[in-house]
Chains A and B, each alone.
Chain A
C-alpha cells in the first residue's frame, strides 16, 4: 500500500497487484452530512455521470468509455454515519487486452479530470438545464419507484421513524421533497464547493506504478483544503419503544426492530462478532432459531452500524406470526445478554467472518473501498491485524456488549389497502 497527501486534504492511495484482469480507480469526495448540500450533491453526481463539457451528450460519454476498451464509469453517493460521499468509479481492463497499444491509465485519468473539473454548464446557468431537468425527473421517478421494493421501502420508513427530524433520516440518495427544490444553479454551486473543499481520496487498485498514478492525480490540480470530519452520530434514548404499523399492498408482512447499541472505537471487532452470531451470518441464531427451527419467517437478518449505534433486525413474515416473531427475536437478544456464547459457536462465527474478509481480498472494489474507509476513519490495519483481532474477541466481551442494547423501534408493514400519504 502506498499513500501520499499530494495537497492538504487530498490523498492518493495505491494498491499495486497483478492479481486482477482490471484496474480500478475511485475518486471520493467526502464531507459532513448537511441538509443544505445533500440533495444538490445527489443531482450533481447524476450530472457528472451523464455528460461533461467535452463529452456533451450521453452518447458521446458512452462512446469515449467504449473507446477505452469498454471502460465502466459510475457515480454513487453513500453515507458512513454522519459523512456523505460522492464516489466516481472508473474500471479499466488490463492494458494487455488493449489492441491499440495505448495505456488506459493515462486515458482514464484524462477522462476523470474532464468529468470532475469541466462539467457541462457554466457559472451563470449552472448545469445545462435541458440535461439537468431530465436527470432530476429521472431521480424523482427512481425515488417514487422505490415504493415497489417492499423490503427496502419498509426499512426506509422504519429508519425515518427512528431518526425523526435528524438529517440522519435522509437517505444518501436524497428525498423527493429535497430533490424537487434543487436547481441547475444550486447543484452547480454545491459541486464547485465540493471540489474545492471536500476531503478527496483517490484510490487505485491494479497493475500500476505508484509514481505514475501520483503524477496523474496531480494533473487534476486539486488545491489544499482543511476539513475535520467525524462519522459518529448519537441520539438520546427514547423513553419507550417507538411503535409504528403501516398498511401496504403486501402478501407477506415486513418487520423491522431497532435497538440503540453504542460501541466504543475499540469495540468494533466485538460488535462484528456479536452481530454475526445474532443475525448476520449464514448460521446466525435468528436464522437457525427463528427461521429454521420455528419456521416463523422466510428471511430474517440483523445489521449493525457502528457509526450510528443502531442494531436493526429485518424479517419477512406471515402476518399471523408477527407478535410471536418479535418475542422470539427479543428472546434471542436476551439470551446473548445473559448466557455466554459456547466456545464452538464462537469459533465457527469467527471462522465465517474471517472467511468473508478473505473473500474480499479477491474483489478490487472491496479492496478500494476498504482502503478508503481505513484512511478516512484512521483505522488503518493490515489483513493479519484484522484477522488476529477477530480471533481475540471473547464470549464475555460479547455478552457485556449485548447488554448495552436498548429496544427503541418496532415497525410493521402489513397487507391491506395502501395508506394514502
Chain B
C-alpha cells in the first residue's frame, strides 16, 4: 500500500496504568475533534455476581440506572457541565458494557477531564434516585411503544430463556422502583474499578501529552479495589415452538433467531473476533443480492426491502437475528430456517460471490474510519482482546473463502427460534 494510507491507519497504542486502568490511544490526524470514551465491562446482563463468596442479585435495569445517575455530582450535573464546556456528551448501556463518551474540539481538553472525573466519583442521593425512577419508567414505556424493540426482546427471550438478555436493558417499572442509592453504590463499587474499565481516545492529539493528562485525572489516580466475579447465566435450551402474537403492525412480521455457541472461556479472543466476522460475512452472503435463493424470495414478493439479517457477538454470547415483513409468515419461517440450519452448504454454493461480499464489508468498515465516535464505541475492550477498527479491517482483508468455510464448520449453532407477528390493526379504507 502507498504511504497515503498512513493518514487513515496511524499507529495505535495500548497500555495499562499502575492502577489497572487500560488506556487506548487511537490517533486520527487532521480531524477537528477528539472523542473520549470511558467503557466499563458491565452491562444489563450482569445483575448477579459473587462478592466475598456471597451471591448478590440486584434489580433488573441497575446498570442502566447507574449510567443515568452517574452524571450527578454533589455540586453540579456533569452532563450540563460538559455542555457548558462546549462538548457533546452521551452514555449508553448494552447487555455487556456501559459507555460514556464526550466529543470536544482539539484544543479543549476540559471535557475529557470532566469525563475522567465524574465516572469515578458517584453521588447517588435519594430524592434524585426517586425522580429517576419515574424518568426511566417513562423511557420503558417509550420502548414498549416501539414495536421493533419489543419483538427484538421477544426473540432474545426465546433464544435465552430465564436470562436477562431477553429483558429490557432499562428493567421494568417494578424493578427500577426497587433501586435505592445503596444498591447503586454496591453496583458501582463492584464494577466501576480501574481494572474493569477502558479509556479510549481518538482524534487529533499529541500522544505523550494525552497519556500524561490521563494519568493525572481521577481515573488514572484512583486506587483499585477488589472486584467481583461476574456470573454468566447458564444456557437453557432454546424455545423452538413458533410464538404467534398479534400487534399493531401494518404488515405481518416474522422474526427468527439462532444462537452460536462460541466458547468465550477457552477460545482465543481474536479467534472469536474472526468467527464473528465470518458469521457476519456468511449472513451477508446467504441473505444478500448474490444469493439466488434470496433473490427468488425477493422477486416473488415473499419478502421485501424490510428484510434484515444480523449477526451480533458480545461478551459471552453470539446470535443471528432475522426480521422480515411478509404476507406468508409460515413459508418465510420454513425457508429461512432451512438456510440457517444448512448454513455451511449454502455458503459453499456462493464461493464466486465471496470477494464481492467481502468488499462490501470492508468498505463499510473503511467508512467508519471517518467517524471518531464509531472508532471509539466499536471498541469492545477485552471481549475481542483489544481489537480496534484497524484490526477488524486487517482481519477481513486477510480472510479467504477456504478459511471462512473451515471456520464456519467448527462453530456449533443452535436450533431456530421463531415468532410470527400478525397485524391486529383495523383494516384501513
Interface members, chain A 237-254 (any B CB < 8 Å): 249-252
**In the complex, which residue of chain B has the Cβ closest to the Cβ of A72?**
B363
**CB 8 Å contact bits of A125-159 with B (1 = contact, 0 = none):** 00000000010011001101101101000000000
**B79 and A282 contact, CB distance less than 8 A:** yes
A-side contacts of B249, CB under 8 Å:
148
**B306 and A145 contact, CB distance less than 8 A:** yes
A-side contacts of B306, CB under 8 Å:
141, 145
**B425 and A418 contact, CB distance less than 8 A:** yes
Q: How far is the CB of B426 from chain A (nearest CB, A)?
A: 6
A-side contacts of B425, CB under 8 Å:
418
B409 interfacial by beta-carbon distance below 8 Å: no
CA distance A318 to B141 in the complex (A): 10
CA distance A355 to B108 in the complex (A): 10
Q: Which listed residue, A21, A66, A359, touches B33 by the CB 8 Å rule?
A: A359
Interface members, chain B 217-276 (any A CB < 8 Å): 248-251
Q: How far is the CB of A314 from chain B (nearest CB, A)?
A: 13
**CB 8 Å contact bits of A90-123 with B (1 = contact, 0 = none):** 0101101100000000000000000000000000
Q: Which listed residue, A72, A97, A138, A281, touches B305 by the CB 8 Å rule?
A: A138
**A69 and B363 contact, CB distance less than 8 A:** yes
Q: Which listed residue, A19, A147, A150, A364, touches B145 by the CB 8 Å rule?
A: A150
Known A-B contacts A352-B83, A355-B86, A355-B105; A420 and B426 likewise in contact (beta carbons under 8 Å): yes
Q: Which of A56-64, A219-227, A258-266 touches B?
A: A56-64
Q: Which of B2-10, B42-50, B310-318, B411-419 touches A?
A: B2-10
B207 interfacial by beta-carbon distance below 8 Å: no
**CB 8 Å contact bits of B138-159 with A (1 = contact, 0 = none):** 1101101101000000000000
**CB 8 Å contact bits of B396-429 with A (1 = contact, 0 = none):** 0000000000000000000000000000011011
Q: How far is the CB of B141 from chain A (nearest CB, A)?
A: 5
**A67 and B32 contact, CB distance less than 8 A:** no
B357 interfacial by beta-carbon distance below 8 Å: yes
Interface members, chain A 245-287 (any B CB < 8 Å): 249-252, 281-283
B335 interfacial by beta-carbon distance below 8 Å: no
A18 interfacial by beta-carbon distance below 8 Å: yes
Q: How far is the CB of A342 from chain B (nearest CB, A)?
A: 13
B88 interfacial by beta-carbon distance below 8 Å: yes
**In the complex, which residue of chain A has the Cβ closest to the Cβ of B7?**
A18
**A295 and B359 contact, CB distance less than 8 A:** no
**A141 and B251 contact, CB distance less than 8 A:** yes
A362 interfacial by beta-carbon distance below 8 Å: yes
B290 interfacial by beta-carbon distance below 8 Å: yes
**A69 and B359 contact, CB distance less than 8 A:** yes
**B359 and A66 contact, CB distance less than 8 A:** yes
B369 interfacial by beta-carbon distance below 8 Å: yes
Q: Which listed residue, B144, B248, B290, B357, touches A59 by the CB 8 Å rule?
A: B290
A79 interfacial by beta-carbon distance below 8 Å: no
**In the complex, which residue of chain A has the Cβ closest to the Cβ of B294?**
A59
**A351 and B86 contact, CB distance less than 8 A:** yes
CA distance A65 to B288 in the complex (A): 14
Q: How far is the CB of B395 from chain A (nearest CB, A)?
A: 15
B-side contacts of A356, CB under 8 Å:
88
A316 interfacial by beta-carbon distance below 8 Å: yes
B-side contacts of A250, CB under 8 Å:
145
B-side contacts of A354, CB under 8 Å:
86
Q: How far is the CB of B89 from chain A (nearest CB, A)?
A: 7
Interface members, chain A 198-250 (any B CB < 8 Å): 207, 249-250
Q: How far is the CB of A394 from chain B (nearest CB, A)?
A: 20
Q: How far is the CB of A53 from chain B (nearest CB, A)?
A: 19
A-side contacts of B83, CB under 8 Å:
281-283, 348, 352
B-side contacts of A93, CB under 8 Å:
362-363, 366-367
Known A-B contacts A94-B5, A283-B80, A295-B131; A358 and B32 likewise in contact (beta carbons under 8 Å): yes
Q: Which listed residue, A20, A145, A147, A359, touches B32 by the CB 8 Å rule?
A: A359
**A62 and B305 contact, CB distance less than 8 A:** no
A421 interfacial by beta-carbon distance below 8 Å: yes
Q: How far is the CB of A318 from chain B (nearest CB, A)?
A: 7
CA distance A297 to B142 in the complex (A): 11
**B105 and A145 contact, CB distance less than 8 A:** no
CA distance A380 to B84 in the complex (A): 29
Interface members, chain B 1-56 (any A CB < 8 Å): 1-2, 4-5, 7-8, 30-33
Q: Which listed residue, B7, B31, B87, B290, touches A355 by the CB 8 Å rule?
A: B87
Total chain A interface residues with beta-carbon distance under 8 A: 62
CA distance A294 to B141 in the complex (A): 18
Q: How far is the CB of A366 from chain B (nearest CB, A)?
A: 11
B-side contacts of A283, CB under 8 Å:
79-80, 83-84
**In the complex, which residue of chain B has the Cβ closest to the Cβ of A18?**
B7
B99 interfacial by beta-carbon distance below 8 Å: no
B190 interfacial by beta-carbon distance below 8 Å: no
Q: Which listed residue, B141, B305, B325, touches A252 by the CB 8 Å rule?
A: B141
CA distance A144 to B249 in the complex (A): 10
B-side contacts of A421, CB under 8 Å:
428-429
Q: Which listed residue, B4, B248, B289, B301, touches A148 by the CB 8 Å rule?
A: B248
B-side contacts of A374, CB under 8 Å:
none
A74 interfacial by beta-carbon distance below 8 Å: no
**CB 8 Å contact bits of A276-310 with B (1 = contact, 0 = none):** 00000111000010000001011100000000000
**A298 and B88 contact, CB distance less than 8 A:** no
**A316 and B86 contact, CB distance less than 8 A:** no
**A94 and B32 contact, CB distance less than 8 A:** no
**B356 and A91 contact, CB distance less than 8 A:** no
Known A-B contacts A59-B290, A355-B105, A418-B425; A362 and B366 likewise in contact (beta carbons under 8 Å): no
Q: Which listed residue, B7, B87, B362, B429, touches A19 by the CB 8 Å rule?
A: B7
CA distance A66 to B89 in the complex (A): 36
Q: How far is the CB of A171 from chain B (nearest CB, A)?
A: 17
Q: How far is the CB of B304 from chain A (nearest CB, A)?
A: 6
Q: How far is the CB of B93 from chain A (nearest CB, A)?
A: 17
A167 interfacial by beta-carbon distance below 8 Å: no
A-side contacts of B250, CB under 8 Å:
141, 144-145, 147-148
CA distance A150 to B289 in the complex (A): 31
**A22 and B84 contact, CB distance less than 8 A:** no
B-side contacts of A355, CB under 8 Å:
86-88, 103-105
**In the complex, which residue of chain A has the Cβ closest to the Cβ of B369?**
A21
B345 interfacial by beta-carbon distance below 8 Å: no
B135 interfacial by beta-carbon distance below 8 Å: yes
Interface members, chain B 63-88 (any A CB < 8 Å): 79-80, 83-88
Question: Which of A20, A137, A147, A356 has the largest number of chain B CB atoms within 10 A?
Answer: A20
CA distance A355 to B104 in the complex (A): 7
A71 interfacial by beta-carbon distance below 8 Å: yes
CA distance A283 to B419 in the complex (A): 41
A363 interfacial by beta-carbon distance below 8 Å: yes
CA distance A264 to B276 in the complex (A): 54
**B135 and A298 contact, CB distance less than 8 A:** yes
**A18 and B4 contact, CB distance less than 8 A:** yes
CA distance A354 to B86 in the complex (A): 8
Leading 3 A-B pairs by shortest Cβ distance? A70-B363, A66-B356, A351-B86
- What are 21 contact pairs spanning A and B, CB under 8 A? A19-B31, A21-B367, A22-B370, A59-B290, A70-B360, A70-B362, A72-B363, A94-B4, A97-B362, A144-B250, A145-B250, A145-B306, A249-B248, A252-B145, A282-B89, A295-B134, A295-B135, A354-B86, A355-B86, A355-B88, A362-B33
